Each structure stands twice: as C-alpha cells, then as structure tokens.
Amino acid sequence: MCTGQCARCLGLSLIPLSLICIIANALLLVPNGETTWTDNLSLQVWLMGGFIGGGLMVLCPGIAAVRAGGKGCCGAGCCGNRCRMFRSVFSSAFGILGALYCLSVSGAGLRIGPKCLVNEVWDYHFLETQGSYLRNDTLWDLCEKPPKVVPWNVTLFSLLVVASSLEVVLCGIQLVNATLGVFCGDCRKKGTAQ
C-alpha cells in the first residue's frame, strides 16, 4: 500500500475516533443527562482528557493525514507529497501525546471512580477500592446523587480508554508511515494521486 493511501485511511479512522472522544467527554459533564451536578463533577471530568487530548489533539493529525494522502505539490514542482508527509510526522507525534493524555486521565477516572453523594457527604467514595468497585456493581448503588453516576462514568471513561488506545496505535502507525513518505515519497505516479 502506498504511503499516501495508508495516510488517508489512517486519517479517516482518526477523525471519527476524535469525535467520539469529544462527545464522550461532553456527556461526562452532564451525568445522567442532567446539568444540575456540574458543581460536583470529578477532577478527571474537568481535565477534559476526551475533549482536549483524544479529541482536538487527535483531530489535527487525522486531518493532516487525510491531506497527506491527497495530491501533493509544494512550491514550484511536485515532490511526491513529501511536504505534507513531513507535517504529518509532527502532527502524529502531537496526536500520540494527546491520546496518551486522554488514556491516562480516563484510566485514572476509572480507577478513582466518580465524585458522588453518600450519607450527605460529597467525595470520591470508591478511591480506596483502587478500581475493584468496577467488578462489584452492587457498590454502585451507594451513590445517592447524581443518580446512576457510576454506570454513566464507567461507560464513558471505558469508551475513552478504548478510543484513546486505538488513537495511540493509529497515530503511531501514521508516524512511521509519514516518516517513510518523507524519505521514500509516494509510490503513486503523477496524475493518479487523489
């Protein structure tokens, strides 16, 4: 497969993943679909790992990879898409950092658990379980408010962990692919690039 075609394919995979991260993080801001709990959200929700890291920081490399997979002329003559591939190298490295940020924040969000009300005290009541509450869903009913916050957070943070893990892999592949594209050019002939 040509480096340009590979870049386009990877970019078209990264863009939806970044949008999934943005949506998942937006939903974390409204537990159970209600906006009345914003004063008591966990720190991991406010760190915006899905919006900033897995979202915007990966959306840029996704777009750069799609562009690198298209026609490429820089300056006076065609250089086999090397300029766009060169930009994609740096964008992909940036995307890996963003995806790792999202992965670490989301993993911490799963391990610590949500901030919720138990016996009239707002706190991280699952912190001492070190993530074992994930296997014991009977503990989830301890949180009185926000209603159903534990399954809400577990589902969305798990989605962010999976999406950001895929983003790390895809950005890493694009980093290697773009580096090859810079040094080797694109295998497509002039006039056949799309």
pLDDT tens for residues 17-38?
A: 999 999 999 999 998 888 888 8
Q: How confident is the model at residue 160 (pLDDT cuts 50, 70, 90)?
A: very high
How confident is the model over 83-96, as a mean pLDDT?
89
Q: What is the mean pLDDT of residues 150-164?
A: 95
pLDDT (tens digit, 9 = 90+) per residue, 104-125? 999 999 999 899 888 888 898 8
Top-confidence residue, 50 or 88? 50
Do 10 and 125 meet the contact criterion of CB atoms below 8 Å apart? Answer: no
Cβ-in-10-Å burial (0-12, 13-18, 19+) of 128 comes to exposed
Q: CB neighbours of 165 closer than 8 A, spacing ≥ 6?
A: 99, 103
Q: What is the DSSP string of 32-84?
A: GG-STTGGG--HHHHTTIIIIIIIIHHHHHHHHHHHHTS--EETTEE-TTHHH
The CA distance from 4 to 69, in Å, is: 4
pLDDT score, position 185: 66
Task: Please determine, for residue 193, whether its predicted confidence score (pLDDT) is greater than 90.
Answer: no
Q: Which residue has the higher pLDDT, 7 or 16?
A: 16
Read off the pLDDT of each residue in 133-149 and give the average, rounded to a whole number: 87
pLDDT category of residue 181 using cuts at 50, 70 and 90: confident
Give me the torsion for CA of 71, 76, 82, 85, rounded to 10°.
Answer: -60
- Asked if the model's pLDDT at residue 194 lies above 80, the reply is no
Percentage of residues of the chain with pLDDT beyond 90: 48
Sorted by where each begins, the domain ranges of the chain are 3-110+151-184
How confident is the model at residue 78, as a pLDDT?
47
Which amino acid, residue 91?
S
Listed residue (109, 121, 64) closest to 88, CA to CA = 64
